[in-house]
Amino acid sequence: MDPNLVKDVIKPTPVEVPVPSEKEKPSADRLGPRQYCWGTGRRKKSVARVRIRPGTGKININNRQIDEYFPNQRDRNDVRAPLQKTQA
């Protein structure tokens, strides 16, 4: 196959990449009457519901402290990583 023919057929298309803007942390005013942000994660038949409230930074999972629920430091780091990344 002629390489010049391929270059004529497949042309690069310029793509605009959105630049992420500096976002504010959610304030208590923006949380609404619930006073927390929430999310739901699903995998197969399992469901995880998460609520993040303004507070001291204490993490509870099924009414247990994070150290009780996750004895391995690696698992605790996995839980904290998104919060640290977003500076929440």
80-88 long-range contacts, Cβ below 8 Å, gap at least 24? 83/52, 87/25, 88/25, 88/52
In a domain, 79, yes or no: yes
On the question of pLDDT at 73 being above 90, the answer is yes
What is the number of structural domains in the chain?
1
Q: Which run of H or E residues covers position 7?
A: helix 3-9
Q: How confident is the model at residue 24 (pLDDT cuts 50, 70, 90)?
A: low
Q: Is residue 72 part of a domain?
A: yes
pLDDT value of position 72: 94
Q: For residue 46, give its domain range.
A: 25-85
pLDDT of residue 26: 53
6 occurs within a structural domain: no
The predicted-structure confidence for 44-70, as pLDDT tens digits, reads as follows 999 988 888 888 888 888 889 999 999
